[in-house]
Structure 1
Amino acid sequence: MRLENIVLQARDPHATGRFWSAALGLVDLEPGSPEDYEGRLWVDDELWLDLCVEPATEPPPLGWRLHLDLRGGEQQAEVVQRLTGLGGTRVDIGQGEVPWVVLADPDGNAFCVMEERAAYSDTGPIAALPLDSVDPQRDAELYAALTGWVPAPGVGPVTLRHPSLRGPLLELCPEPEPKARQNRTHLDVRPTPDGPDQRGLVELARSLGATLATDDWAHGHPWVVMRDLSGNEFCVLADAED
């Protein structure tokens, strides 16, 4: 199994996708639906993540439970300047005086450009994926089982990373408030030939406390929409081909 997709929602997926393609240096892909955008981030010759943007009808609400932290480091100011030149905007979400810079993509999805941190070595342009959690240790057990990622040094209370210790960190962070609505950003995991198939991966997730989403919009897809123990949506995709 593998973590395959970071999925965003936007009112204009193509315009938002063009921003993220330029921001992250993605290789544009043919999406599953003409309404969507999909691009691939190559971390190295063998490790990649796809960023997908799907349609939404409403602007993003406050309360980002999963967002992207981009690597800035010593070039933080230059990265911020480049991203604002691409259409990003500075936003105030109540962050106060912090060493990172909060921006929003053209649809209003907030993300951060981070300062220099030792934990961000070899991450590529996405330094981390902070995810709000009721119980970070408990939720980390679920995501480790579903992705094959392993505990690693990081900034959050519990951090997972690809076993190669390359690519972004998945940081499980204490939630500031309970989840109130469908997340604007979520993760997709994919079964692989060397592990459980889709049904087996769903059952594994359920054995670790995840639940099937019962909302009308969650049905009728080749993927299975689930929620972790903190209520965050994720999808189990169809079986990978050999």
Structure 2
Amino acid sequence: MTLRPVLVNIKAVDDSAVARFWAEALGWEVSGSEPGATAAKPVGFDWLQPVGVCIDVIAVPEPKTATKNRVHLDLATTSAAHQAELVARLKALGATPVDVGQDDDVPWAVLADPEGNEFCVLEPRESHRDTGPIAVIVVDCVDPRAMARFWGEAIDWTLHEVTDDHALFRSAKGVGPYLEFLRTGVKTVPDRIHLDLVPEPGDDKAAEVARLRALGATDLDVGQGDVPWTCLTDPEGHEFCVLARS
């Protein structure tokens, strides 16, 4: 019994515009199966057998607040020239520089998508040479060691490193982005970006949800009603969903 991260779920007022931005940013394609939900995904991506993750943008009426998101993406680059070119291209697509308290001399660029969702364009790093365009999914937290314990049991990804400052996971298959829990501060607003998980083939979704509750997850009501997915929060209040395979 286990779960696999499959979607980075982003709330947006204009789901199609935000999905188009991310598809252009990452070199992916746009797809939409229903009104108010638009995906940006690699060509050939199969969410039932995911290698890496894709982005699913869901329409909501409320715009993002000025508070920094607790989840953001770090994008990979292969050289200083590639980093500069990518930053310029992203700005042309509608990204804007933002100040989240970073030092002036950090080697990465901090930007926001057209609806203000923060992300970073990292300098070249050897550890990210095979991640694809998304190097890291970063989750702000208070206690990385506690997050390592919960998420290490919740998902099938491998824990590569854990310290007082961060916990780092990656798919056991050694593909796709890393998932990093970074010590920053407490949650103050509802999550605008969260992870969606999918059970492995043959695993029972209800049993997986029960297992997560036993690990410390809590049920979450966001007005979702009768839907085939289950909304939960981890022990620090990070929202996530468990999807049904059918």
Q: List, as ranges, runs of 4+ consecutive aligned residues in structure 1 with deviation greater than 3 Å.
A: 42-46, 153-156
CA 1:149–1:43: 2 relative to 1, 3 Å? farther
The correspondence for 1:138, drawn from 146, 149, 152, is: 146
Superposed counterparts of 1:48-63, under 5 Å: 48-61=52-65, 62-63=67-68
Superposed counterparts of 1:101-120, under 5 Å: 101-120=109-128
Deviations 1:103-158 (Å, cap 9, x if unpaired)?
11111111110112232131100010111122212222322333310012599621
Aligned residues: 236
The equivalent residue for 1:232 is 238
The equivalent residue for 1:16 is 18
Superposed counterparts of 1:28-67, under 5 Å: 28-31=30-33, 33-41=34-42, 47-61=51-65, 62-67=67-72
Q: Secondary structure at the match of 2:173?
A: coil
Q: Distance in 1 between matches of 2:32 and 2:16?
A: 12
Task: Show structure 1 runs of 5+ residues with no match.
Answer: none
* Letter aligned with residue 75 of structure 2: L
CA 1:42–1:127: 2 relative to 1, 3 Å? farther
- Residue pair 1:68, 1:112 contacting (<8 A) in 2 also: yes
The equivalent residue for 1:200 is 207
Q: Once the 2 structures are TM-superposed, how far is the Cα of residue 208 of structure 1 from its aligned partner?
A: 1.1
Q: Once the 2 structures are TM-superposed, how far is the Cα of residue 218 of structure 1 from its aligned partner?
A: 4.1
The equivalent residue for 1:68 is 73
Deviations 1:4-34 (Å, cap 9, x if unpaired)?
1100111111111111111112232333x31
Q: Distance in 1 between matches of 2:155 and 2:171?
A: 8
CA 1:204–1:184: 2 relative to 1, 3 Å? same
Q: Distance in 1 between matches of 2:206 and 2:45?
A: 30
Q: Distance in 2 between matches of 1:203 and 1:82?
A: 45
CA 1:24–1:224: 2 relative to 1, 3 Å? same
Q: Distance in 2 between matches of 1:87 and 1:65?
A: 22
Identity of aligned residues (%): 38
Using the TM superposition, name which of 222-231 and 71-80 deviates more: 71-80
The equivalent residue for 1:174 is 183
Q: Distance in 1 between matches of 2:91 and 2:27?
A: 15
* Letter aligned with residue 234 of structure 2: D
Deviations 1:36-59 (Å, cap 9, x if unpaired)?
111223699971422101112233
Q: Report whether the alignment pairs 1:82 with 2:83.
A: no
Q: Distance in 2 between matches of 1:134 and 1:200?
A: 28
- Residue pair 2:8, 2:56 contacting (<8 A) in 1 also: yes
Q: TM-score, normalised by structure 2?
A: 0.88
The equivalent residue for 1:160 is 169
Q: Secondary structure at the match of 1:116?
A: coil
Superposed counterparts of 1:185-224, under 5 Å: 185-195=193-203, 197-213=204-220, 215-224=221-230
CA 1:65–1:142: 2 relative to 1, 3 Å? same
Question: What is the RMSD of the two structures over their aligned residues, measured on CA atoms?
Answer: 2.2
* Letter aligned with residue 202 of structure 1: V
Q: TM-score, normalised by structure 1?
A: 0.89
Q: Once the 2 structures are TM-superposed, how far is the Cα of residue 228 of structure 1 from its aligned partner?
A: 0.5
